[in-house]
Amino acid sequence: MKRIDEEKFISVYDENADAIFRYAYFRLYDRERAKEVMQEAFMKTWEYLQSGKKISNVRAFLYRTAHNLSVNEAVRHKFFSLDEMREVAGFDPEEVRQNTPDTEAEYRLVLAKIGELDPADRDVLLMRYVEGLPVSEIAEALDEAPNTVSVRIHRAIGKLRASLDIP
């Protein structure tokens, strides 16, 4: 990405804010901290561009920045247990949409099982299937070889299926 103007960068924010927030959320399991990380990731990216540097893929750069900030944040605040993660993975009751109890239970179970995956597996799974990023872009964001990412995605799906008893 060449030097970018303010308007264009804000459009990048509009397009990617939710995705970067989700990425941080599934690292931290804390909505407020995830919002802070999201804000900081955009700010650091803006500062980086303003310093005259170029970014070939701004979305991959944002993920990379959010990843680093989330890891730092998680190290600083090891405040949640696995049970707490499972709890928050289900979200607040007031946010529950118009779903049947069975569907709601299923959603909570899937989210809880995703929460139990290794962070590295969770990252690739969410980036691939929730955000729809191509393998090449995930590889760029995580600074991994595409083959490594492909294998990790397959393994993550395998683990999730196994944990959900899906053949």
Q: State the residues that interact with another protein by CB under 8 A.
A: 6, 9-10, 13-14, 17-18, 21-22, 25-26, 35, 38-39, 42-44, 46-48, 50-56, 61, 64-65, 68-69, 71-72, 91, 95, 97, 107, 110-111, 114, 125-126, 128-132, 143-148, 151, 154-155, 157-158, 161, 164, 166
79 vs 129 by CB, closer to another protein: 129
Count of other CB atoms within 10 angstroms of residue 134? 12
Q: How far apart are CA 22 and CA 17, in angstroms?
A: 9
Give 24's contacts (C-beta < 8 A, 6+ positions apart). 33, 34, 35, 37, 38, 41, 66, 69, 70, 73
Q: How far apart are CA 6 and CA 46, in angstroms?
A: 9
Alpha helices in the chain (DSSP H): 6-28, 31-50, 58-76, 82-89, 101-116, 119-125, 135-142, 146-163
Quote the least distance from Cβ 78 to another protein, whole Å.
18
50 vs 77 by CB, closer to another protein: 50
83 vs 143 by CB, closer to another protein: 143
Quote the least distance from Cβ 86 to another protein, whole Å.
15
78 vs 97 by CB, closer to another protein: 97
Quote the least distance from Cβ 126 to another protein, whole Å.
7
* Cα 147 to Cα 18, 32, 60, 127, 151, distances in angstroms: 27, 34, 17, 15, 6
Quote the least distance from Cβ 11 to another protein, whole Å.
11
Quote the least distance from Cβ 26 to another protein, whole Å.
8
83 vs 92 by CB, closer to another protein: 92
